[in-house]
Amino acid sequence: MPGDPVDRAHTLLDLGRPEEAERMVREVLASDPDDPHAVAVLALCVHRLGRYDELVAISERLIALDPDSFVGYAMLSSGLGNDRRFAEAVEPARTAVRLRPDDASVQAGLAEALAMTGQGAEAVRAAVEAVRLAPDDPGVMEIWGFVLAKTERWGEAVAPLAAAVGKDPLNAQHRFRLGCVLLRLGRYDEVREQWSAMLAAEPSERNVRWVHDELVTELVPAPLAGLFQQACLALHGEELDIPAVREYALGRLLEENPAAAHRVVERLTSPDALLLRALVRKHDGEHEEAAELLVRAHAEGCRSDALYQAAMVSCLRAGAFADGARLAEEAVGLFPDVPAYLWFHAKYLLALGEVEAARPLAARYARLEPGAEADELVAELG
- Which residue type does 17 have? R
Residue 237: pLDDT band (50, 70, 90) is very low
Q: Which residue has the higher pLDDT, 370 or 175?
A: 175
pLDDT tens readout for residues 35-72: 888 898 888 888 888 788 789 999 999 999 999 989 98
| Helix 138-150 vs helix 154-167: crossing angle, to nearest 10 | 160
CA angle 176, 157, 206 (to 5 degrees): 15
Residue 335 has pLDDT above 90, yes or no: no
Residues 192-212: pLDDT tens digits? 889 888 877 776 667 777 887
Going from the C-alpha of 355 to that of each of 311, 327, 333, 373, the distances in angstroms are 21, 18, 19, 17
pTM equals 0.58
- Cβ atoms within 10 Å, residue 375: 11
Residue 381, SS3? helix
C-beta contacts of 161-167 below 8 A and 24+ residues apart: 163/138, 164/138, 164/139, 165/138, 165/194, 167/136, 167/138, 167/141
Three-state DSSP class for residue 203: coil
Lowest mean pLDDT among 161-170, 241-250, 321-330: 241-250
Q: How far is it, in rounded angstroms, from Cα 345 to Cα 347? A: 5
Residue 245 pLDDT exceeds 50: no
> Is the pLDDT at 6 greater than 50, yes or no?
yes
Cβ density class 24-49: b for 16+ within 10 Å, e for less: bbeebeeeeeebbbbbbbbbbbbbee
Pair 138, 173: CB distance under 8 Å: no
Over residues 281-291, the mean pLDDT reads: 87
How many other CB atoms are found less than 10 A from the CB of residue 155? 11
179 has pLDDT over 90: yes
pLDDT digits (tens, 9 = 90+) for 91-145: 999 999 999 999 999 999 999 999 988 888 999 999 999 999 999 999 999 999 9
Q: Considering the chain, what percentage of its residues have pLDDT values greater than 90?
A: 34
